[in-house]
Amino acid sequence: MSTQERASVNVQPAEAERIDRGAGNLKWRHFKGNILTVLGWFSIIFGLGTLLVLILDVLNRATGIFSGGQNWLTWEFFNNFDSRFAQRAGAKAAIVGTLYTISLTILFAFPLGVAAAIYLEEYATDNWFTRLVEINISNLAAVPSIIYGLLGLQVFARWLLFGRSILTGALTLALLVLPIIIVASRESIRAVPLSLRQASYALGATRWQTVWHVVLPQAVGGILTGSILAVSRAIGETAPLITIGALTFVPFLPRDIFDIFTVLPIQIFNWTSRPQDDFRSLAAAGILVLLAILLTINALAIYLRNRYQKRY
């Protein structure tokens, strides 16, 4: 037997051993993958099931649909102002105040956030000031909401003399969600392929024309997704609005953006803090209305995203 043949005979057992070990590792990886898949599905089903139970419980307390109790989600609930008597209490002022506040929040935060993201991604040079701004924006996204309430109280309510008004609340919430919109918009703009920009420049377009006609239509999906998350956080905030002095009892509609106001989260908090059980049923009805407003705004944003997003 030649030297080459003896070497091949000696190699074959080692090669077979490596193949067997590789097959064993592949089975173990498949087993771990199946375990993680089962755990993932269990987490999803458990989370959605818990959410469904909570929603059904709130629905039952508000309407009595399962227990045959009193239905609190009536026309009087939408048409009456708050009262110290549960049978007369409604959420008219809180609903209007919520719509006012969240509309102004979107009006202030969305254009400013998108403009800041465009500047940082398309125009800003890489220097110490830009890096400082980026670090601060990332840090502001994790600041507790009560800090924004204190900032809004000092800057908007006292220094700018806006008082405990809708404008103060909207500007405070705009500051709260602005870092979220900026971060999401930057990620979406950064995801646009460089080749699209280069093709636009090759055709003679300016930088702004490229941003407006090429980059933004491609990035609008991610921008609106980030805005949906920001609005979802803002509409449920209570701490910053309580800090700036939003009231728990408002028996009238706001006349303009400089009037005092209340919102649904504060109204719900007020009702749940009362000892009578009927007020907790009113709070459940308020929760359903707040969810309906949130889902309506999200559905509108998703429609606009799918309507205006361009794909290449």
Predicted local distance difference test score (pLDDT) of residue 169: 92
Q: Please, which residues have CB within 8 angstroms of residue 119's CB and are 6 or more apart in sequence? A: none
* 215 class by beta-carbon count within 10 Å (0-12 exposed, 13-18 middle, 19+ buried): buried
Question: What sign results for the dihedral spanned by CA atoms 150, 156, 161, 165?
Answer: negative
237-278: pLDDT as tens digits? 888 888 887 877 888 888 889 998 889 999 998 898 888 888
Predicted local distance difference test score (pLDDT) of residue 277: 87
Instruction: In whole angstroms, give the CA distance from residue 21 to residue 42.
Output: 32
The arithmetic mean of pLDDT across residues 75-85, rounded, is 89
Say if CB 271 and CB 293 are below 8 A apart.
no
Beta-strand (E) ranges in the chain? none
Q: Which of 93-102, 125-134, 292-301 has the highest mean pLDDT?
A: 93-102
Predicted local distance difference test score (pLDDT) of residue 24: 58
29-44: pLDDT as tens digits? 888 889 999 999 999 9
25-61 b/e with 16+ CB inside 10 Å = b? eeeeeeeeeeeeeeeeeeeeeeeeeeeeeeeeebbbb
Per-residue pLDDT at 177 exceeds 70: yes
Predicted local distance difference test score (pLDDT) of residue 20: 52
Inter-axis angle of helices 92-118 and 264-272, to 10 degrees?
130
Q: Residue 67: pLDDT band by 50, 70, 90 thresholds?
A: confident
Predicted local distance difference test score (pLDDT) of residue 285: 92
Predicted local distance difference test score (pLDDT) of residue 19: 52
Instruction: In whole angstroms, give the CA distance from residue 196 to residue 210.
Output: 9
**Phi and psi at residue 250, in whole multiples of 5°?**
-130, 105
pTM: 0.82
Distances (CA, A) of 15 to 11, 21, 24, 95, 139: 6, 10, 14, 73, 54
